[in-house]
Chain A
């Protein structure tokens, strides 16, 4: 099956610093990648959608200057949390999609736990 990896799996940083999270599709080319945020005991909340080579589309309420997304290739997307604050502490999950197809399947990464001190 399609595999999506994330790196790092967890990160602790000081308030005010920036953190970069990588999302890779290991055995397929992802035309679209998605970034989600999940708070404890809540479901996934879509932050942004990115297509390779174009600007990401952000969901309402998500600051594009704070959460920088780069989708430079068909197998790699990065999310940079700039000037992180404690309220940015969360579980960040990416997913990747090959194409629309019949099922519009998204394959999820294992997630990155971000803790901002």
Chain B
């Protein structure tokens, strides 16, 4: 069964600090992995998308890594800001006809002043 597991479930950090969120997956065959940011009461917004051959991708203060061998990904947030408070969802797409997405349960990040 395809699964995506994220850790930690929740995280509180002080403004200006860095943090790293983890994602492990068992989706096969693998197509791509993406990280989304979801503010409370809003839809998810894409941060990064990586295919099998990409092992790092940055989007401003967000840097995602992918290790397709160990089936792990991380999202690193640098110099956190209060506006980074949100849920971060790891989503993996299977390389099948339906291209189904498997969602992680998300990490709820709270940045405090």
| Chain A residues engaging chain B, CB cutoff 8 angstroms | 4, 6, 41-46, 49, 91, 93, 95, 100, 102-111, 113
Please determine whether A109 and B43 come into contact, CB atoms closer than 8 angstroms.
yes
The residue in chain B whose Cβ has the minimal distance to the Cβ of A5 is B43
Q: Which residues of B contact A91 (CB under 8 A)?
A: 41
Q: Which of A43, A104, A108 contacts B43 (CB 8 A)?
A: A108
For the complex, is B46 an interface residue (Cβ under 8 Å from A)?
A: yes
* Minimum CB–CB distance for A28 against chain B, Å: 15
Please determine whether A104 and B31 come into contact, CB atoms closer than 8 angstroms.
yes
Q: Which residues of A contact B100 (CB under 8 A)?
A: 46
Tell me how many residues of B have a C-beta within 8 Å of chain A: 23
Q: Which residues of B contact A42 (CB under 8 A)?
A: 105
Q: Which of A6, A46, A108 contacts B44 (CB 8 A)?
A: A108
Main DSSP-derived SS at the B contact region: strand
> Can you give 8 A-B contacts (C-beta < 8 A)?
A103-B34, A103-B51, A104-B93, A108-B36, A108-B45, A110-B42, A110-B43, A111-B41
Q: Which residues of A contact B31 (CB under 8 A)?
A: 104
* Minimum CB–CB distance for A36 against chain B, Å: 9
Q: Which residues of B contact A95 (CB under 8 A)?
A: 43
The residue in chain A whose Cβ has the minimal distance to the Cβ of B106 is A43
Please determine whether A113 and B44 come into contact, CB atoms closer than 8 angstroms.
no
Q: Which of A6, A43, A105, A108 contacts B105 (CB 8 A)?
A: A43
Q: Which residues of A contact B105 (CB under 8 A)?
A: 42-43
Q: How far is the CA of A106 from the CA of B98 in the complex (A)?
A: 13
The residue in chain B whose Cβ has the minimal distance to the Cβ of A49 is B98
* Minimum CB–CB distance for A31 against chain B, Å: 12
Knowing A44-B44, A93-B43, A111-B42 are in contact, say whether A103-B106 is a contact too (CB < 8 A): no
Knowing A43-B89, A43-B105, A102-B51 are in contact, say whether A111-B43 is a contact too (CB < 8 A): yes
